[in-house]
Every structure is written in structure tokens, then in C-alpha cells.
Amino acid sequence: MATKSIKAEYLKGLWDENPVFRQLLGMCPTLAVTGTVITGIAMGLATSFVLILSSLVVASIKKLIPSQVRIASYIVIIASFVTIADQVLKAYFYPLSEALGPYVPLIVVNCIILGRQEAFSSKNTAGRSFIDALGMSTGFILALLLLGSIREILGAGTFLGYQVMGSWFKPWIIMILPAGAFMTLGILLGIALLIESKTKRR
């Protein structure tokens, strides 16, 4: 693991170990907040903030944490950063915080974050953990962006609130509903696996 270059450490989060498409982690927020692009991006940024800072802290103090209570310690660290993110959103971006509802506090149980602490930050240096967290965050934001774009364009005919489809277009209401979220993600997972198997064969 330590032999990887910094660049490879970052890039693996984008595709090879993409949290959503390859590791199937963090599915709840992925499905819940991608009704529009803007909520997806906001969620991605909030999650990245928590992931990057928690990774930095965990990697820096990993020697001080006894291994029996490490999970509890990680959870407290993560919960503190989630609280900060939640309070900042409430204070400065109130409409966005309303739209995201319970999903910002729920970042605390996002398996991506705890998973990275356990699998990576607890064994690697702070610098490397930072790069790893940055890569995972980028992969997560890209996944949310993709899902949010598909659902908003097909479900409302808009992108970030701007009309992109002509007046001939009849919005597919189903894409905004929970059902659309499940189906879109299911099909995207299928496409991701198809691409993976095609590139592997070569």
C-alpha cells in the first residue's frame, strides 16, 4: 500500500475504488439527495469536509487511541465535524439545510467515512490519508453529480435550475420520486460493471 504514488493514491478514489459505484458505500445519501443537482453537490461537499478533516485528525492521533475503543473514538471525531458542518449550513445556507433535512446529521453514519478511517487513516500517515480522503471525496461528488444530473434533467427538464430541455419535453416525474433514484442507480451500477469487465478483458 505504501508503494503507491501520490497520484495513484488520489486517482483510485475516482474509479478503481469509487465509494459509490465500486464499493457500494454511502448509498443512503446518494439516493436521497440527488433529486436535484444542487442538493447533490451540497451533500458531496459537506461529506468531503467531514471525511477529509476526520481522516487528518484520525491519522494524526492514531497512536494515542487504544485499539479497543478506536471505533467509538472515530465516531466521536466524525460526529464533531458533522456537527460543525450542520451548524454552518444552518447558519449560512438555511434553504439548502432545509432541503437536505435529516441527511446532513446522517453523514455521521455514512459508511464511507468510518470505512476510510478503519481501512486507511488508522494505518497511514496524515499526508497520505489526506490524499486518500481527497480522492474518495472527489469520487463521491462525481457520483452524486452524475446521478443528480440524470435525475434533474429527466425529471424536471432543468440543470441547476436552468431550463435545458425544449418545450416539447415532458418531465418524467418518476425520476424525482424515490423510485427513480433506485432505478437510475441500479442501471448506473450495471453500466459501471459492464465498463469494468470490458476494460479488464483487454
Partner 1 sequence: MELVAVFVSAVLVQNFVLYYFLGICPFLGVSKKIDSAVSMGLAVTFVMTITAVVSWLINNLILIPNDLAFLQIVSFILVIASLVQLVEMFIRKVSPPLYQALGIYLPLITTNCAIMGLALIAALNEYGFAETVVFGFGSGIGFTLAIVLMAGIREQLDLADVPEPLKGAGIALIVAGIMALAFNGFIGMLT
Binding site for partner 1 (CB under 8 A): 24, 27-29, 31-32, 72, 75-76, 79-80, 82-83, 86-87, 101-102, 105-106, 108-111, 114, 174, 177-183, 185-187, 189-191, 193-194, 197
The CA–CA distances, whole Å, from 168 to 119, 153, 154, 174 equal 50, 14, 13, 18
Q: How far is the CB of 97 from partner 1 (least distance, A)?
A: 12
Least separation in angstroms between CB 75 and partner 1? 6
Of 115 and 126, which CB lies nearer to partner 1 in the complex structure? 115
Q: Tell the smallest beta-carbon distance from residue 163 to partner 1 (Å).
A: 26
Spatial separation of the C-alpha atoms in residues 202 and 109, rounded to whole Å: 39
Of 8 and 179, which has the nearer Cβ to partner 1?
179
Q: Burial level of 98, CB count in 10 A (0-12/13-18/19+)?
A: exposed
For partner 1, the closer of residues 119 and 134 by Cβ is 119
- For the CB of residue 173, give the shortest distance to partner 1 in the complex, in Å: 10
CB of 7 to partner 1, least distance (A): 29
Helix locations, the chain, DSSP H: 6-11, 27-32, 37-61, 70-92, 94-100, 111-116, 126-156, 173-176, 178-201
Alpha-carbon distance 145 to 131, whole Å?
21
Rounded CA-CA distance 164/178 in Å is 23
CA 15 to chain centre: 13
Closer by beta carbon to partner 1, 78 or else 131: 78
Q: What is the largest CA-CA distance in the chain?
A: 62
Q: Which is nearer to partner 1, 104 or 136 (CB)?
A: 104
- Between 59 and 175, name the residue whose CB sits nearer to partner 1: 175
Smallest separation (angstroms) from partner 1 to the CB of 59: 21
